[in-house]
Structure 1
Amino acid sequence: MRFRILLLLLGLTACESDDKPNDLIAEDKMAVILSDIHVLESQVNDMHISNTDSALFIYQKLKVKALKKYNIDTANFNMSLRYYITNPASLKNVYVDVKRLLEEKKKKIPTIKAKQYSKKQPVDSIKRISARYKLP
């Protein structure tokens, strides 16, 4: 939630600049990363952690882990995010892709849940005990 507010505030006060950094994360890759980060933010929010410091700590750890997944360090991510925030047209392109990616992930949720529930087979306790104790 704080991330979104920060992003909005920085976007509103941003000045457009054409100075692209050399190691700027491409728009499509940035969209994938941001979609993952928004999912992580939602997961931490759903944990209902009453201590905001603990929630922020967990979120930061998960964010670093997500960035490592894409071989990006936090400095490069923050620099790229700062660039996109100061360039509203580019940021809009990124967030169009973020929205599309999140909608695709949302469509997959029922399928994933169905697969998880289908894997859980009822256990025959008598057979399990018989096998464990080698009963006839």
Structure 2
Amino acid sequence: MSMLKRVFCVLLTVVMLLAGAAHFTMTATYVAIMPSFLPFPLALVYLSGVLEIVLGLGLQIPALRRLAAWGLVALLIAVLPANINQAVHNLQPEGLQMSQTMLWVRIPMQLVFIAWAFWLTRPERQGG
């Protein structure tokens, strides 16, 4: 693994660990932005937090790295509706108040995280 990819892999792990932990320390905040069509919002918040932590740690295990990165791609796509829901309805739960502009900026930022995780699924090019 190249040095650049290694650094970005560690950074994504840190981001996922912090985000996952936030699901347990700011649970009500995440529940408040869940789209109403999703069942069991509290359980989904906890599940996504656990997955962020487990998959983030999985990035640091070479044998699991690609699988963990694919898992993060899927998870980040799965939680995108909550970010969209928050922006569309201007939801401002305690602990996650943002300007309307920032709520909309979070959506393309999520796409950057998806691309980042996807990049980590790609094998290193040999000899070039």
- The structure with the larger Rg is 1
Tell me: higher relative CO, structure 1 or 2? Use CA pairs within 8 A at least 6 residues apart: 1
Same topology, TM > 0.5: no
Given the two structures, how large is their TM-score scaled by the length of structure 2? 0.31
